[in-house]
Structures are given as C-alpha cells and as structure tokens.
Amino acid sequence: MKMQNSLTLKVIILTAVASSPIARNERQEHFHKLLLISFDGFRWNYDQDVNTPNMDTLAKEGVKAKYITPPFVTMTSPSHFTTITGRWIEDHGVIHNMMFNTETLRKYSHKATQNKTEWWDNQVLPLWITAQNQGKKTASFHYPGGGANYSGQAVNRSLVEAFDHPDSNETEWRENIDIVMNWFTKEDFDFVTLYYGEPDNIGHKFGPETENRKAIIQQIDRTIGYLRAAIEKYGLSNTLNVIITSDHGMTTVKKKPNVKEILLINYIKFSDLVKFDILDYGGFGMILPKPGKEEEIYQVLKSAHPNLKVYKREEFPERFHYSKHERILPILLYGDPGYSVNGRFILYVNKGDHGFDNEDMDMKTIFRAFGPDFKKGYLAEPFDSIHIYPLMCHLLGVQPEPNNGSLALTQDMLNSAASKNLLLPILVGSTIVVQLLICI
C-alpha cells in the first residue's frame, strides 16, 4: 500500500510537471552552471611522470576518465568543434586548423580563422547558440569557434585570442579564471568555455618527453589548484560543474638519422601534378591534384614510404568519420606516429606534433569533471570525446541538437541527483502501467 501511495504521488507530480506551462522554467532552476576548460594538447598520461597534487585531489573529488579519444583529424579547431557540437568532423565541416580556398589558393592560419564565420558556420550549431536559444547565457574565452556567428547569432560574450597572445603567462591564466568566476557570479552566465594554448605550444617546441613539458604540466596543475580555490571563494562549489578536457595528445617527431623522413617531393613533381595542398602540418596532409593527375599521384605515393598511409577520399577508412565533407581534398595522407607529412622541404621546427591516427595512444587526451552533479572518486572507462556534448546538454538542461554522441557513455559519472532527470522520460513512459496497477 505504502509503495502504491508513493507511486501515485510520483505519477501526479510527474503529470503536473509535464503539463504545467511553467514547468520548464522551474525545472531549469535545478540545473547547474557549467564551465568547460580545455588545455590544448594535454596528452592523456602527462600527469603520470610529474607531481600533480591538484589534479590528484580533483580525481578524488570528482571524475577522471582513464583517457578519451579525440576525433580524427587530431587537430585543435576540428577537435574542439566536435566537443562543442557532438558531431563528427565530416559533419561539422571544420576539417582543419587552416581555412583554405582551392580557387584563390589562399590559406589562413589557425588564429586568423577565429573571426571567420564562413569557416565555422556550416549549419551545425555549437552548444553556445543552442543553449542561448533555450534561455541560457553563454560565453567563450578564447575557445576555438567562439568568435564566429552561427545562423546569424553570436555567442553572448566572446573573447578571441589575439595573434600575439602569450600561451604560458601564469598570472594571466589566473586572471582569466577570476574573470570567468565574475561572469558566473556577477553576470549570471550559465555556460562558459575557457581555452588555454598549453601544453600544446611547449609540446611542439620542445617535444613531449622533456623537462619543459613537465614544467608546464606543473603550471597547469597549480592553475587547477587556483581554480578550485576560486570556485570556493566565489561561492560556486554547489552550483558550478566543471569539465576539464583537451583536444588531442602529442608525440615526438621522428627525424633523421634515426628514421627515413617522409618528404613527398622525393616521389612526385609538384609543379606537374599538384594544384593545391595542405602539407607540412604534422601527421596529416591533403592534396588537390591537377586535372587528370589524381590516379598518378595516388599510385606513386601509395607505395612511396613504409610509414605513409595514402588514400583516395572515397576510400578513407569509415572509422575516422572524416572524409565525407565537401571540403576534403581528393588525396588524404597520414604518417605513422611521429612521421610528419612533409611536402617540398622539411621545416625542422616542431619537436612534437599531432594530427596522427586517433587510435594511437599518444593522440589520446584527458577528461576530468567535478561539481555538484558528478560522483566523487569515480574512474571512468575511456570514451570518445564526441560524447561530451550530450553530457553538457544534460547538465545544463538543454535540449541537444542532432548529434553523434550518446549520454549512455557518460551518465555513470553522474551522481543520483543529476541522473534522476534521466529517469523522467522512463517514468512518464510507464505511467500507464503504474496507473493500471494502482487501479487494481
């Protein structure tokens, strides 16, 4: 009897929630604010050979995934946009860090694309815009894609990284945290994305297996300590969920005389065969052949170098979910881990790089989360970064756009208060059954 009564009560409440016009707003009150932080190029195991007391504490107070898999191509803008849209790269169309035009032959650097709506806005809405359309207030602090307009709408507040922005100024890192804390407390923002350019920059410059990289991880760890203290100081501990993640890992670039480097001009004559190319950009490259030259380039390059993978666009492995977008050039190339795809010459600048196969462990990256809706001390199994999007929508109480992620992969990290919303549709669905039971 008792059980039936409580069931009856639940049914009544649920029916009321479902039918009341103010129900949505009331329900929104129960959703917490969300901060998404990305540290560019944070390989999954960077915290394992250096002291990271704050990240260790975070793992005890929240959720840590063993690692996560970024989408292919393992590159900054494409991967960040998958996180904020929940769509594969071939769907959202931000297929490279560089914007390019095969008619004008122009290329725009990663930073130069940040203000270019035409590169980002391909009919796939990022979470900022979707959340704004559902009554939330959102902001982007240097996060890739935050500076563009989508279907004519801008992110409510957006700071775009300047060309000369320093990547590793620890004082500025802390100031940025305070700015964001004020956005949440003084201006009632619901969702903020915050981006840091490290440890990517150091990983490229010195290589991932160096003391320089260990030092920047310790700087990041101190910053995370500062963040935790700031959340406390601003009184946000019970109202703010935080996800800390990244876009890809990093691997040491292999160089002569240890290996035979990949240099395409050793095999093909560019002036005869190639109209346009995106090469010399880490582990991945693309070629637009001159008319009628596709087969020749493909046949020559296919067997050119034992550590070079070469595909025609239509034969690119499905598991990458990368090649279907119209911006993809006809010939795709990627190197085995550490083998950069060089074109006409080798720029001996980067000691570390990415862009390689996302199945390679060196390309895997991090996922941490804490806050009122997350379990404490929970170690999550690895998952694909594409599943972060439905998780964020769930935390914010935002109806997601069509996407390629699934909440099923991440819901175990939520505590019971946060996952009760998951039960709602199930309970509503079984209302009839329950009522029948009660009638009897």
Task: Count how many Cα atoms sit within 13 Å of the Cα of residue 49 in the half-sphere of its side chain.
Answer: 13
Helix%, strand%, coil% for the chain, nearest 5 = 40, 20, 40
Whole-angstrom Cα distance, residue 433 to residue 440? Answer: 11
Near ligand NAG by CB under 6 A: residue from 27, 107, 111, 313: 111
Among 123, 79, 88, which Cα is nearest to 318's?
88
As given in the structure block, the two tokens for residue 340 are 């950069």
Burial of 57 (0-12, 13-18, 19+ CB in 10 A): middle
Stretch that binds ligand NAG, among 84-92, 250-258, 264-272, 305-313 (CB under 6 A): 84-92
Cα dihedral value 390, 410, 146, 217, nearest 10: 180
As given in the structure block, the two tokens for residue 55 are 């990240």
Q: Identify what 200 binds: ligand NAG, Zn ion, none; CB under 5 to 8 Å per kind.
A: Zn ion
Question: Active site residue: 52, 76, 85, 223, which one?
Answer: 76
Q: Identify what 38 binds: Zn ion, ligand NAG, none; CB under 5 to 8 Å per kind.
A: none
52 is catalytic: no
Max Cα-Cα span within the chain? 85
Size of the site for ligand NAG (CB under 6 A): 28
**Between residues 28 and 149, which has the closer beta carbon with respect to ligand NAG?**
149
Near Zn ion by CB under 5 A: residue from 161, 190, 198, 200: 200
Near ligand NAG by CB under 6 A: residue from 4, 51, 169, 182: 169
Alpha carbon 117 to its chain centroid, in Å, reads 19
Residue 221 touching Zn ion (CB under 5 A): no
Residue 14 touching ligand NAG (CB under 6 A): no
**Between residues 347 and 424, which has the closer beta carbon with respect to Zn ion?**
347
Q: Identify what 291 binds: Zn ion, ligand NAG, none; CB under 5 to 8 Å per kind.
A: none
DSSP state string for 292-348 = T-HHHHHHHHHTT-TTEEEEEGGGS-GGG--TTSTTS-SEEEEESTT--EESSS--T
**Between residues 159 and 414, which has the closer beta carbon with respect to ligand NAG?**
159
Residues 6+ apart with CB under 8 A from 47: 55, 56, 217, 221, 366
Residue 114 touching ligand NAG (CB under 6 A): yes
**Between residues 13 and 112, which has the closer beta carbon with respect to ligand NAG?**
112
Residues 6+ apart with CB under 8 A from 6: none
CB of residue 97 to Zn ion, shortest distance in Å = 8
Pattern 125-144, ligand NAG, x by CB under 6 A: ----x--x----x-------
Stretch that binds ligand NAG, among 14-22, 30-38, 114-122, 362-370 (CB under 6 A): 114-122
Interface with Zn ion by CB under 5 A: which residues? 200
Interface with ligand NAG by CB under 6 A: which residues? 87-88, 91, 111-112, 114-115, 117, 129, 132, 137, 147-149, 153-154, 156, 160, 162-163, 166, 169, 171-172, 175, 321, 402, 404
- Active-site positions read 76
